[in-house]
Structure 1
Amino acid sequence: MTVAGAIAWGHGVLASDEFTECSKVCEILLAHAADRDWSWISLNGQRALSTSELEEFRSLVFACATGTPVQYLVRATEFFGLELKVERGVYVPKWETELLVEEALSFLEAPQLSDLTWGMSRTRAVIHEVGTGSGAIAISIARHAPATAISASDVSAFALSLAQANARLNGVAGRIRFCRGDLQDPLAGVPDLVVANLPYIREGEISDLPTNVRVQPRSSLVSRCSGLGHINRLLENLTIKPGGRVMLEIGFDQASGVQSICSGNPKLSYERTVKDLAGLDRVAVIAAL
């Protein structure tokens, strides 16, 4: 079977509502099976695959069809233009979360906000990321905002080891301090910016998620109190400089709930909600008073 034939076969196996980019998924899996770069696929459509390459590809496609995330199968993903290692047992960063990074970088780059929050006498903005997982958010910020001191936490030792490996892979290992613990508890200093993609799926909604999401760590997905339990705990015990910002990824219908949490805290003011490319509420921006 040729490369093009294998892609067509895989497309037929994966074609469903859960796989909106079947051809791209098949190309990624075949490149991995053949131990080649993804660009090799488009240049070698008529090349015959070896028996071992074809068997490996078929195995990957069937695993993907039964719900294993493609990122787990190839043990890698791309986020904000960076290559990251991904392993089973650690949440796979999704493209929507890139909006959170964009908002963080915009805040850090705004001159008027820089003067307000960390002042001209300081050269490094202090950032806390809580629930770092693979390290995607902290690493992306570190790569694009060098004048920052970043600390990132997670309760999972395995996730932290993966995040540290990703920091080394992307040349920012010396720029991020990874700490094991809950939320901000293990993080030192008073930050100018807190960013987080915490669990926000309601407990009763887990069964409605696509299979390739449900197989990811439940602790990275589900939160109590209508999905706002983790966010509520973070904001209740928040450490941040006056004038700083908290940026949180949220569910499409959770902005009002986060606003309610902020309204009960005299040190916080809900600033705005940022929508993603699908027009859904995605990031909550909160000002520290």
Structure 2
Amino acid sequence: MTLDALVARAARRLLEAGSPSARLDAEVLLCHVLGVDRTWLYTWGDRQVPVFERARFEALLAARAAGQPVAYLTGEREFWGLRLSTSPHTLIPRPDTERLVEAALAHGASPRGRLLDLGTGTGAIALAFASERPGWSVVGTDRSPEAVALARHNAERLAIGNVDFRAGDWFTALDHEESGERFALIVSNPPYIAADDPHLRQGDLRFEPASALVAAEQGLADLRQLVVEARAHLVPGGWLLLEHGHGQGKAVRDALADAGYGEVATLRDLGGNDRVSLGRHVEGGTGGGRS
């Protein structure tokens, strides 16, 4: 069977299984097995597929048809032009989160500074920012030791040296001696899905760690906690930037305003949905937040 025929048949199978990106999934999995890129696949589509590689492809295809995420099957996902290793211990980096990176770069335009990425997972946000701002010192924290190990692996693999990954729940991984560590930018893509959200039973979300997806208070608990606690770790004039669900913009803006942040705003993603809310640490702000 030729490459073209194998991909076409695989795409039909995945489409019947409910994949929203059946053709792309089939191509990515076959490229992974063959160790080639998609351009090669298009160029040499009339070639025959060796028996061993076809068997490996069929096994991955069956797993994908059962719902397993492509990023877990291949062990990698591209984000901000960086090829990141992935694992079931972390969320799969998604294009929508690049909006958070764009916002961080816009508010971190100076040649030097410090950025903190809370709940770093694969390290996607921290590594994307660090790759664009080599003069900055970037810290990423995650309560999962497996996630921290993976983020460190990605940093080494990409030869990005201005980032430090630490294990700890939110701010607990930081140095709290004397005045503690402070940052010009604090960013996070925290859990923000409500426990009863039907999307948790659909697509890739079924296989991703629930601890990185679900938050109490209809998905707002962690967002509100970060709003309150971040003030103690921002330099005067520093910015807090939070990714959230498309229906949570107003609630996050209210939390930021109640906590005394200034210049509160919400940014939209390419789909026109509320995606990132932000505020600036104002000295003498009221502090406190909504419960």
What's the TM-score once normalised by structure 1's chain length? 0.91
Distance (Å, rounded) in 2 between the aligned partners of 1:208 and 1:77: 21
Counterpart for residue 46 of structure 1: 46
Distance (Å, rounded) in 2 between the aligned partners of 1:37 and 1:175: 30
Q: CA RMSD in A?
A: 1.6
Distance (Å, rounded) in 2 between the aligned partners of 1:208 and 1:237: 28
% identical equivalent positions: 32
Counterpart for residue 121 of structure 2: 133
State yes or no: 1:235 paired with 2:190.
no
Distance (Å, rounded) in 2 between the aligned partners of 1:9 and 1:287: 53
- How big is the shift at 1:155? 0.2
- How big is the shift at 1:191? 0.4
Q: Is the 8 A contact 2:17 2:65 kept in 1?
A: no
Q: Is the 8 A contact 1:18 1:210 kept in 2?
A: no
Q: Is the 8 A contact 2:199 2:205 kept in 1?
A: no
What does the per-residue CA deviation read over 1:17-40, in whole Å, with 9 as the maximum and x for residues that have no partner? Answer: 953332221111001122333332
Counterpart for residue 75 of structure 1: 75
Distance (Å, rounded) in 2 between the aligned partners of 1:170 and 1:209: 34
What does the per-residue CA deviation read over 1:101-136, in whole Å, with 9 as the maximum and x for residues that have no partner? Answer: 011111112xxxx4xxxxxxxx62011100000000
- How big is the shift at 1:94? 0.6
State yes or no: 1:148 paired with 2:142.
no
Counterpart for residue 165 of structure 1: 153
Counterpart for residue 95 of structure 1: 95
Distance (Å, rounded) in 1 between the aligned partners of 2:203 and 2:22: 16
What does the per-residue CA deviation read over 1:125-177, in whole Å, with 9 as the maximum and x for residues that have no partner? Answer: 011100000000000001001121111100000000000010011111x3111
Q: Which runs of 5+ in 1 are unaligned?
A: 115-122
Distance (Å, rounded) in 2 between the aligned partners of 1:70 and 1:150: 29
Q: Which 4+ stretches in 1 moved above 6 angstroms?
A: none
Counterpart for residue 282 of structure 1: 275
Distance (Å, rounded) in 1 between the aligned partners of 2:36 and 2:256: 50
Q: Is the 8 A contact 1:253 1:281 kept in 2?
A: yes
What's the TM-score once normalised by structure 2's chain length? 0.90
SS at structure 2 position matched to 1:164: helix
Relative distance call for 1:82 and 1:273 in structure 2 (3 A) is: same
SS at structure 1 position matched to 2:216: coil
Counterpart for residue 10 of structure 1: 10
Count of equivalent residues: 275
Distance (Å, rounded) in 1 between the aligned partners of 2:18 and 2:194: 21
Q: Is the 8 A contact 1:184 1:234 kept in 2?
A: no
Q: Is the 8 A contact 1:223 1:230 kept in 2?
A: yes
